[in-house]
Structure formats: C-alpha cells, structure tokens
Amino acid sequence: MANIKTKKKNAWRENIEAILIAVVIAMFIRTFIVQAFKIPSGSMLETLQIGDQILVNKFIYGVKIPFTGGKTLIPVKDPERGDIVVFLYPEDPSKDFIKRVMAVGGDTIEIRDKEVFINDKKVEAEPYAIHKDNRIIPGKFSTRDNLHRIKIPDNKLFVMGDNRDNSHDSRFWGFVDLSEVKGEAFMIYWSWNKENWGIRWRRIGNLLF
C-alpha cells in the first residue's frame, strides 16, 4: 500500500515538474526568441489583414534584458529600412504597434504629395504601400501627405504603415527609440476573417517582407 502511495506522489511530482519546466521554457521563448501578436487594425493593409496572427523574431535585434528599459545584453543587428517591426507605442507604452521602418538614424526623410524621399532620393519601388484616398492634404493642415525634410536622430527610427492614407505613425507622433523595438515580424501563422467568419487558409504560413 505504501508503495502505491509513493508511486502516486512521484507521479504528481513529475507532472508538476514537467508543467513548470514547460512554463519556464515557454516564457523564455516568448521573452527572448519568438512572440505571437494579433493584428487589430488595418494600418498595415494589404501586407497585414485585420485578424492576421503573426510571429515576431525577438532575437534578431539583440537579446534585451527584461525590466531594464530595453537594455541589450547580446547585440545582433539594428532594424533596417523595410523591416516590419513591433514596438512600444511612444505615446502609450502599454500598447504594441506594428509598422514598417522607412528611415533609420542619420537618414533624412521628406514626403511630397504622398511620395517619400529618403536622403533626398525618391523611393521608387514600394510594392507594399497603398493609397486609398486620392486627395492630397497640404502640409499646413496635416503631415499625412506632405512632411518637411527632417533628419532621424541616432538610435531612432521613422516608421510608417503600408496603408499610407490610414495609418497613425511617425508622420504624426515622431520617432521610435531602438530600445522600444520588440522584434521583427516574419510570418503569418494564423488568419481569421471576422467579417466572413472564416479562416484565410492562403495566408497561413506566408512570410513577411
């Protein structure tokens, strides 16, 4: 009888230990390697649809130490132009935002009638950018379509949504600090169309560029 009780206790202990180990591994992966995010808005259309669920590589920009304000323990590389990044929203750090990097520290950026100029050169190929509003808003009224030439400070990013006419981004609230960047989005692992109540099978597994 004693042996049966001992075996039951050992089984319970093994199960609890296995669960704890699994939780620790999952937290480690989520904190340092890969984290999942859900897309709640259309600011990155058509690249990302509302209801897409994505994986973000948190290691690619270096291993950040938790609760240190974004200090990096193991630097790998900095975000580059064209990367799709997840970061803490500067005006409310409790929220995660996702946008595309348009300019990095040391670059200049200017927008003239919806056309983007990086380092005084027009960005010719932007297959990801869409414009659904044909209106051109003068710069004195809004920075959406016209933005005076500015230089990006060191350790900062200028980001924009691919849905250029409907994205709240650096054109309106400024720069993203490198320490606030969580990682680079690299794949859609699930996509749910709430309007049609169905799975977007063709989007699952798509890599992001």
Residues with a known catalytic role: 43, 99
* Residue pair 31/66 in contact by the 8 Å Cβ criterion: yes
Distance CA 203, CA 70 (A): 32
- Tell me the residue ranges of DSSP E strands in 66-209: 72-74, 84-88, 96-104, 108-112, 115-118, 121-122, 147-151, 156-160, 176-177, 181-193, 198-199
Distance CA 174, CA 149 (A): 13
Token pair listed for 58: 């948190």
Distance CA 162, CA 4 (A): 63
Distance CA 42, CA 54 (A): 14
* Residue pair 152/103 in contact by the 8 Å Cβ criterion: yes
